[in-house]
Structure 1
């Protein structure tokens, strides 16, 4: 089953509309979708290392643009849209306390969430809801997402073939690690 899922992801990565799919996934991941764009970005770069920088750039632009949607949800439609999303992540009881702490560490919150598996949508929505400076939000989002996507792209561009072999030989382990990182990111939301 894992092999079929891996092969399916690779086939998506090689599809002629893969860049559009990546842009869509990166956009919605920054505001409402729970799956990070890395799940598509990594196989796309492994399939075509010569496009690593283009792929990272598209993920960056789409992610920051999606982050602006998350910011708008928090600023303009928090009760209708943002609060249910955050409640689904278990943040309903501590949102007021969090907003005070969040504004004190806003730059670092956005930077950390943008670089790690922490759900970026939580930070984008909270940035809008707490009234973080839009300029700070955009600059930090570009910095964090740019570092994340371009570091991954650089590593895969430089060491792509050995990484692909490593992943394919240890597919079950890689799947477990991916799930652990994803769950860990969502678990981190509980402790914010």
Structure 2
């Protein structure tokens, strides 16, 4: 079934990848990764352009997945996807929503789980779009760059490289989040202390 869907979308080229990436962020059960790789094997010179089209399609579909979650809740996910994926993603969200989205961009858990969960758990939409843009750009363009520079030989490298990106890139992004929060908290504490100091200053 997966191969039949990919074969069908391949016939539409760039538009097929756009539609697949758009639907992948909403509820479509097959990740756009497969269509991107398949089309990149056919025309490696267009791999970066394919990555761009897939990335844009994914970002445009993200708010729709979000509002589906907001309106219908995460119960819709259980009808189409594996329970273990949904439970894992929910646990990640409960610990740290931003980290969940970044990690979700690289894990085998379909990305629509994170867009719909964001809506159902009232995670801010703008944050979802920002962190989805970072994570999905890395994944789409890493695959695109591989095929652009190595041609059809990149097909055998894709899974290994995406694993290395996950093992190296995700920790770097998480450290960045940690530092952002740490310095943000320090700034808030400093502002609060300054506010208290001003309140305690005797008026003339």
TM-score, normalised via structure 1 length: 0.69
Q: CA, structure 1 residues 59+94, in 2 after alignment: closer, same or farther (shift >3 Å)? A: closer
Q: In the aligned structure 2, how far is the partner of 1:108 from the partner of 1:41?
A: 25
Aligned twin of 1:188 = none
**Cα contact 1:71–1:124 (8 A) shared by 2:** yes
Aligned twin of 2:150 = 159
Secondary structure at the counterpart of residue 35 of structure 1: coil
Q: In the aligned structure 2, how far is the partner of 1:52 from the partner of 1:123?
A: 26
What stretches of structure 2 of length at least 5 have no aligned partner? 164-204
Aligned twin of 2:130 = 139
Q: CA, structure 1 residues 71+56, in 2 after alignment: closer, same or farther (shift >3 Å)? A: same
Aligned twin of 1:110 = 101
| Count of paired positions | 156
Aligned twin of 1:25 = 20
Aligned twin of 2:193 = none
Q: In the aligned structure 2, how far is the partner of 1:47 from the partner of 1:40?
A: 11
Among 37, 40, 49, the residue aligned to 2:35: 40
Aligned twin of 2:140 = 149
Among 99, 106, 112, the residue aligned to 1:121: 112
TM-score, normalised via structure 2 length: 0.65
Matches within 5 A, 1:22-101: 22-78=17-73, 82-86=74-78, 88-90=81-83, 98=90
What stretches of structure 1 of length at least 5 have no aligned partner? 168-173, 182-192
Q: In the aligned structure 2, how far is the partner of 1:27 from the partner of 1:105?
A: 25
Q: In the aligned structure 2, how far is the partner of 1:146 from the partner of 1:157?
A: 16
Q: In the aligned structure 2, how far is the partner of 1:135 from the partner of 1:73?
A: 16
Q: Deviating runs (4+, > 4 A) in structure 1?
A: none
Q: CA RMSD in A?
A: 3.2
